[in-house]
């Protein structure tokens, strides 16, 4: 028809090229325990270097790999820590989500972090991020990781907030929601102490050394390193997926991720 230009439809894109590539900084089958450590907006963020140092001392670098997610608020507190993080520890920020992605085949950071991790430890967990998790919000890198999480893999949350935030009825509701709906998440109850703001009461983050002990009890150092190319927690890069029902009867769908030939 006059006045119209017809363009041939594009060639179909091969399915394989649509699969997100694995991020080079997140090796999957190195035999080490992969701990994804996250911090949110609480002064207890200053304990992060102590947690990292203790984990590295217990497992030794040959047995463990640690990656860190910091929210924008957590970054404001970390400089006040007594010691810096080791230079070998990679820190992920919200900006990394887009700086690492420009085309459909590029790594999707919040998915790659979930695939890589054998454990997510959020210490400290602020009242704000607790509310986001309980309500399913995913407006930053950390909450996107949590919303995309595989329920076959554990998450530990260590709340840290002002006493009146902790005793607020909404906090109780949010904690109850997580308990009732997300059985792969364990909340490490806070302690009563003199808080950074000067108030005295419940809400202080569990002692950092106790948090490390919880990790060690779940993942005994003697089990690492795994054999080369061993599948840890049943997870490798999702080039193919087998969806199976959760036989525990809680209605979840769990993904067994396997590497295609």
List, in sequence order, every residue forming a beta bridge with 69; answer none if it has no partner: 38, 92
Q: Which of 197, 228, 243, 261 is catalytic?
A: 197
Sign, Cα dihedral of 187, 192, 196, 198? positive
For residue 197, indicate whether it is catalytic.
yes
Query: Is 115 in a helix, a strand, or coil?
Result: helix
Evaluate whether 125 touches 160 at the Cβ level (below 8 Å): yes
Tokens of 1: 């028809």
- 69-108 in b/e form (b: 16+ CB < 10 A) is bbbebbeebbeeeeeebeeebebbbbebbeeeeeeeeebb
* Separation of alpha carbons 80 and 190, rounded Å: 21
- Under DSSP, is residue 119 helix (H, G, I), strand (E, B) or coil? strand
Q: State whether residue 36 is helix, strand or coil.
A: strand
- Which amino acids are annotated catalytic? 197
């Amino acid at each position: 028809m006059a006045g119209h230009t017809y363009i041939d439809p594009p060639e179909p894109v091969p399915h394989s090229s649509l699969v997100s590539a694995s991020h080079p900084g997140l090796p999957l089958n190195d035999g080490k325990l992969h701990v994804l450590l996250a911090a949110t907006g609480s002064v207890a963020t200053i304990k992060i270097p102590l947690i990292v140092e203790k984990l590295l001392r217990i497992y030794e670098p040959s047995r463990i790999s640690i990656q860190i997610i910091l929210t924008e608020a957590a970054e404001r507190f970390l400089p006040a820590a007594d010691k810096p993080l080791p230079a070998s520890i990679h820190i992920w920020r919200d900006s990394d989500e887009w700086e690492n992605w420009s085309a459909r085949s590029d790594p999707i950071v919040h998915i790659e972090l979930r695939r890589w991790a054998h454990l997510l430890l959020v210490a400290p967990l602020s009242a704000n991020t607790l509310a986001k998790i309980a309500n399913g919000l995913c407006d930053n890198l950390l909450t996107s990781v949590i919303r995309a999480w595989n329920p076959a893999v554990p998450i530990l949350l260590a709340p840290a907030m002002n006493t009146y935030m902790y005793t607020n009825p909404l906090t109780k509701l949010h904690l109850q929601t997580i308990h009732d709906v997300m059985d792969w998440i364990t909340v490490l109850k806070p302690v009563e102490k003199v808080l950074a703001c000067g108030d005295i009461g419940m809400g202080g983050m569990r002692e950092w050394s106790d948090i490390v002990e919880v990790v060690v009890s779940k993942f005994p150092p003697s089990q690492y390193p795994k054999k080369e190319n061993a599948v840890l927690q049943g997870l490798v890069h999702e080039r193919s997926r087998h969806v199976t029902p959760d036989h525990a009867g809680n209605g979840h769908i769990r993904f067994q991720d396997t590497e295609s030939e």
